[in-house]
Structure 1
Amino acid sequence: MTHPWRSGSDKDRLRSAEGEEPIVGSVAQDRHSQVPLVVPARPSEYGLVVATRGSPWVRVVEAAGSVDLRTAPELAGHLSAAVADGTALIVVVDLRRVDILAAAGLSVLVAADQGAHAQGITLRVVASTHAVCRALRITGLDQTLRVYPRLEPALVL
Structure 2
Amino acid sequence: MAELELRTASDTGQGYDVVLVRGDLDLRSHDQLRGLTGSSDLTAPLLVLDLTELGFLDSAGIGAIALARRQAEERGAELTLVAASPHVTKVLQVTGLDQTLRVCPSVDDVQAP
TM range (shorter): 0.7 to 0.9
Equivalent residue for 1:124? 80
Unaligned runs of 5+ in 2: none
Equivalent residue for 1:52? 8
After the TM superposition, list the runs of 4 or more consecutive aligned residues in structure 1 that deviate by more than 4 angstroms: none
Between the aligned residues of both structures, percent identity stands at 33
Question: Structure 1's 86 and 70: CA in aligned 2 closer, same or farther, altered over 3 A?
Answer: closer
1:130 Cα deviation from its structure 2 partner: 1.5
Equivalent residue for 2:62? 106
- Cα RMSD after superposing both structures: 1.7
TM-score (norm 1): 0.65
1:156 Cα deviation from its structure 2 partner: 3.4
Equivalent residue for 2:95? 139
Q: Count how many residue pairs are aligned between Structure 1 and Structure 2.
A: 111
Unaligned runs of 5+ in 1: 4-45
Aligned with 1:77 (options 35, 57, 61): 35
TM-score (norm 2): 0.88
Please tell me whether the aligned partners of residues 10 and 43 of structure 2 are also in contact (alpha carbons under 8 angstroms): no
1:155 Cα deviation from its structure 2 partner: 4.2
Please tell me whether the aligned partners of residues 25 and 61 of structure 2 are also in contact (alpha carbons under 8 angstroms): yes
Please tell me whether the aligned partners of residues 92 and 155 of structure 1 are also in contact (alpha carbons under 8 angstroms): no
Decide which structure has the larger Cα Rg and report it. 1
